[in-house]
Amino acid sequence: MKKSLLLCFLFLCIIESAYCQFYTISGKLLDKKHQTPIEYATISISDLGLAVISDIEGKFTIKNIPAGFFELNISILGYEKKAFKIQVDKNKNDLLFYLAEDNLLLNEIVVTAEKKVEDLTTAYTIERAALDQIQVLNITEIAALLPGGQTSKKTHLAGVRGAADSFNLRSNGGSELGLSSFGTVVEVDGVRISNNSQFIKEVKGADTRNIASNNIESVEVITGVPSVEHGDLSNGMIRINSKKGKSPLNIELSTKPNTKSIAIDKGFLLGKKWGVLNTSFEHTKSNSDIASPYTTYVRNNLSLIYSKVFNPYRNNPLNFSLGLTGNVGGYNSKGDPDAFVDTYTKERDNALRLNMKLDWLLNKPWITKLEFSGTLNYSDLQSEKKENKDSNTSTAAIHTSESGYFIGSFYDINPNAEIILIPGGYWYTTRREDSKPLLFTTKIKANWIRKFGDVTNRFMLGSDFNRTTNLGKGIYYTDMRYAPTWREYKYSDQSAVNNLALFAENEVTFLLPRETSLKASIGLRSDLTYISKSEYGTINSLSPRVSVKIYILESSQKHSFFNEFTCRIWRCCKASFFIYIKSNSYLSG
């Protein structure tokens, strides 16, 4: 079977090489206002997975392009993104494109989520201009920009961790026991924000308050069935992209009744050969009550992102990026004078995120692109809560982890007794929870993209590995004399969860008459999960995903009843599958 598949793949490569004639296009990018060259811009043909970088003179060259009509996308930080339709039927070396600066002087700014009609799954993109309009403090506020989205009722970030907002994609508005938010994945530059290794009382999505909002370039929201390369999700995905590329000094001041924020960022070009370094710092302070600004949440976020393109002006560029993000802050109500004397709640929200990515455009007959990435997400979420207690009589506090009959004893007599008797009266208890979740991931995938006339085929094959654990001490009390019923349970002693996934997916696009396109995708993901000391051993789950989409362009909609029809089948982890059918209908006049 494996030999047959390999022979079929080699046969397609040979047929493709013999059938298609390849061409080369080259051109130049200029600033629309100053007529100066634009360097370090990304010029890509997404249909073919090809991308190059403009040189110091604004020139670029893309090779090995088959004949046909394509969309040429040009993007660079500080300029508005552009897309141009081009026809490739011969070598072209005189292309000239002008880009306008991305600022408030543009005639039109999109301040809502834009649907990505070219994607097979349902996805939306929210650009920086839209984020600036609503002054995002918590990234969950972008839900208001989605179709049918509602504005968040919260006016501040101050609150305990369990009460913080989280993403809820494809939710019916009910509680759903927290499953809709728990099944929504959030990633920042490929780093997954997860609470899988946190010992929380309720099922809920990850807290996103420690994500700085000033350094976000765009947000992609996937509400449909995602690609098989993404696992451990059920309701959708949020992909946050940070600013990358040369940019001027930017200082932002934001004020709301309960929240004040100051941020600064800049992209440095480190000479002609050393790449670009993007730096960003944000300080945000949010109060729960404008009349009593003592219960606060503080966010101090620092981000460093280094990016470089090796062989940028050749046919096989290698894109390298390395990012480091840290946050120090958290929630604190210790200074609230309205609270009971010496009672408070403090929660750390410290985070350290590291990401690395290699993207190599090989553009060979048997492979188009090879990608490798690795991420590390470490958090310090220690919380401390001091409460006042009282009792008329002695109270028994069970501290043993064994079954049997025991005799209670006062702490002064036997501090190691299985049952501690707390004398009657008034006292304070200080409870601490030391939680330090750690998530490590790696991924490698290969893409093969080819065009055969009016048919475009995309094949993806890859694997990823992730390890989730918690290095914290768990729950403990500072004074065992007054500790209530409690048993030691160290988080660091619990087994780590290891997951190895293999995935493959093939997507075919057919260009039909009357500017109609048909896209079909079929993929399979296999997850092997291993937990040390588990009686279940290694668990395997399969997740097949099938999507079909018919799209009719606007110029052909005059006599059409609908312009889009989508059917998706997703069967995950041996659960029952579902079919999602979407039709955007309208009546023509």
User: So where are the chain's domains?
Assistant: 20-106, 109-388+432-585
User: What is the second-level CATH architecture of the domain 109-388+432-585?
Assistant: Beta Barrel (2.40)
Task: Look at residue 6 and give its three-state secondary structure.
Answer: helix
Please, where are the H alpha helices in 100-247? Answer: 128-134, 179-182
Q: How confident is the model at residue 199 (pLDDT cuts 50, 70, 90)?
A: confident
Q: Please state which of the four CATH numbers 2.60.40.420, 2.130.10.10, 3.50.50.60, 2.60.40.1120 is assigned to the domain occupying 20-106.
A: 2.60.40.1120
Q: How many Å apart are CA 499 and CA 42, to the nearest integer? A: 34
Check if the beta carbon of residue 119 is closer than 8 Å to that of residue 138: no
What pLDDT sits at residue 570? 61
Q: What is the mean pLDDT of residues 191-207?
A: 86
End-to-end CA separation in angstroms for the chain: 55
pLDDT tens string 529-569? 999 888 888 899 999 998 888 877 654 444 445 556 666 66
Write down the pLDDT at residue 157: 87
Specify the amino acid at residue 115. Answer: K
SS3 letters across 407-422: CCEECCCCCCCCEEEE
Q: Which pLDDT value is given to residue 557?
A: 47
**Is the confidence at residue 284, as pLDDT, over 50?**
yes
Q: Minimal CA–CA distance to 422: which of 433, 435, 437, 408? A: 408
| Exposure letters 119-155 (e unless 16+ CB within 10 A, then b) | bbbbbbbbbbbbbbeeebbbbbbbbebbeeeeeeebe
Q: Cα separation of 571 and 170, whole Å?
A: 17
Among the residue ranges 3-7, 56-60, 397-401, 520-524, the one predicted with the least confidence is: 3-7
Residue type, 442: T
Instruction: Read off the pTM.
Output: 0.85
pLDDT at position 20, please?
Answer: 58
Least confident of 83-87, 386-390, 511-515, 529-533: 511-515
Mean of the per-residue pLDDT values of the chain: 83
Residue 430 pLDDT > 90: yes
